[in-house]
Amino acid sequence: MTLYQPFLDYALTQLEQSLNLSPYPIPDGFTQKQGTMGKGQRQEDVITTSYGFKADKLRQIRAAHVQGGAALQVLNFVIFPELAYDLPFFGADLVTLPGGHLIALDMQPLFHHQAYQDRYTKPLLPVFHQYQQQLPWGGDFPEEAKPFFSPCFLWTRPQETEKVETLVFEAFKAYLQVYLQFVDQAEPVQDANRQHEILQAHRCYAQYRAAKDPARGMFTRLYGSEWTEEYIHGFLFDLERQLAATC
Ligand code: DBV
């Protein structure tokens, strides 16, 4: 059992129980991909497995799970709501590299105004504060990424793997529970201006993440740049492609 498998299993079980899930198509050649990292005795097989679902209010629920031995484990798990809802994105970037663990967990907001924060940040604040005490701020991260995070951004670099298995896992579960409540309560937005603002916020987010994907270097080394760009634009952050296909 690798470090982030329980996170993935938990999330998929919870989603199955509370939503009407159906498969989200994964382009050919991207469901599972194998490569190698390192040389000689330190060579490791690295397998990237993709998961995709959708639900009534959620356009795409997708995970990329990278398993390459004790020093390379990644679970990137993002939920992209349907454009008719003002729901935030659920975003988890759980990364273990030779240098240590790097954890980013958030409900990434579409907007920053007070009414939006009252609705989608306030209910999560107690959970955030509870875990932040034991999982201190992870330090610098890209300035340009800041608009995409909420005040409940849990960003931490735990020294001990045990903290990932316990505290980080608990925080992940708690964030997902709150998110599922938001999904349950969400009503479609009727106002055309507001719908347009939602669309723009989704486009900005997807464009930013596709352009700045911190995994680009890793994937390119493992699987080449053609595979990597197609994976990023055709699956991980596919909104532009989806919009182009339906126009
Ligand atoms: N990150 C992704 C996807 C990944 C992934 C799709 C499938 O968005 C993995 C894999 N994240 C990943 C890896 C690293 C990071 C780092 C492999 C390590 C990169 C390296 O050191 O080589 C949050 N993730 C990071 C970092 C941040 C995030 C801040 C530190 C690296 C840096 O400083 O750039 N998550 C990331 C982010 C957003 C987010 C920037 C923006 C909205 O949601």
For 121, other C-beta atoms within 10 Å of its C-beta total 18
Residue-level pLDDT at 8 = 98
What average pLDDT does the chain have? 97
CA-closest residue to ligand 1 atom 40 = 145
- Of ligand 1's listed atoms, the one at least distance from the Cα of 93 is 35
- Of ligand 1's listed atoms, the one at least distance from the Cα of 217 is 22
Q: CA–CA distance from 147 to each of 144, 165, 201, 233 (Å)?
A: 7, 29, 11, 21
pLDDT tens, 6-19?
999 999 999 999 99
Residues of the chain with pLDDT under 70: 247
CA-closest residue to ligand 1 atom 11 = 214
Neighbour-count burial for 32-71, b at 16+ CB within 10 Å, e otherwise: ebebebeeeeeeeebebbbbbbbbebbbbbbbbbbbbeee
- Protein fold of 5-246: oxygen-dependent coproporphyrinogen oxidase (3.40.1500)
Residues with a CB atom less than 6 Å from ligand 1: 64, 74, 76, 91, 93, 95, 97, 102, 104, 141-142, 145, 148, 209, 213-215, 217-218, 236
Residue-level pLDDT at 247 = 65
